[in-house]
Amino acid sequence: MINNVCVFCGSNKPKNDTFFEKEAIRLAKMLYEKKIKLIYGGAKIGIMGIISNELIKRGGEVIGIIPKFLTSKEIVNRKLTELIIVNSMHERKKKMYDLADAFIILPNLSEKVASFLTV
């Protein structure tokens, strides 16, 4: 049974194109309806922020995992169910892998496939 899904997605979103934003909202709605917890990179910006904020708004559970060096850049989503701060990008990916039952990869595809393959 899938209870926790890790979503690899960008901290930015395509300009002048709402397709990915709409799909991110649709994904958040589906996760909420299926009572699936989101595991993701912990940012409040871009596609990451859209999915996490939409799920939080609906009352879903969201765990963000972010390296310590990114916490000073003010991109951390502080509204999360749980925020896990790790020491490195490698530790972040490992923690995501450890917590997730399944994975979803969203754009920027080449960057996210590389992230996924290192897990």
Q: What does 43-107 look like in DSSP terms, one character per residue? A: BSSHHHHHHHHHHHHHT--EEEEEEHHHHTTT-B-TTSSEEEEESSHHHHHHHHHHH-SEEEE-S
pLDDT value at 114 more than 60: no
pLDDT in tens, 49-107: 999 999 999 999 999 999 999 988 778 999 999 999 999 999 999 999 999 999 998 86
Residue boundaries of the structural domains of the chain: 4-118
CATH number belonging to the domain at 4-118, selected among 3.40.50.720, 3.40.50.450, 3.30.429.10, 3.40.640.10:
3.40.50.450
pTM of the prediction?
0.86
